[in-house]
Structure 1
Amino acid sequence: MRHYETTYILRPNLGEDQFTEIIDRTNAIITDDGGTIINLDRWGMKRLAYEIRKEVQGYYVYINYAAPAAAVDELERIFRIDDRVLRYLTIKLADSIDAEQIAREMELVAAEAAPEETEEEAGAAEETASTEEKTE
Structure 2
Amino acid sequence: MKSQFVQYETIYLLKPDLDEDNLLKIMDQYQGILLERGATNVLIENRGRRRLKYQIKRFRDSIYIQMNYNATGDVVGLIEKSMKINEFILRYLTISINQKANSV
TM-score with structure 1 setting the length? 0.66
Aligned to 1:15: 19
Aligned to 1:124: none
2:70 and 2:49 map into 1 onto residues whose CA distance is 26
Gaps of 5+ in 1: 96-136
Aligned to 2:47: 43
- Tell me the CA shift for residue 36 of structure 1: 1.5
| Residue from 1, 4, 25 that aligns with 2:29 | 25
TM-score with structure 2 setting the length? 0.86
Q: How is 1:1-136 mapped onto 2 (pairs within 5 angstroms)?
A: 1-94=5-98
Provide Cα deviations, 1:83-121, integer angstroms capped at 9, x if missing partner: 1000000001148xxxxxxxxxxxxxxxxxxxxxxxxxx
SS at match of 2:46: strand
SS at match of 1:13: coil
Q: 1:82–1:24: structure 2 CA closer, same or farther, 3 Å change rule?
A: same
Gaps of 5+ in 2: 100-104
Aligned to 1:108: none
The runs of at least 4 aligned residues of structure 1 exceeding 4 Å deviation read none
The RMSD of aligned alpha carbons is 1.3
Aligned to 2:102: none
Instruction: Verify the 8 A CA contact 1:44 1:59 in the aligned structure 2.
Output: yes
Aligned length: 95
1:38 and 1:83 map into 2 onto residues whose CA distance is 24
Question: Counting strand residues as a fraction of each chain, which structure ranks higher?
Answer: 2
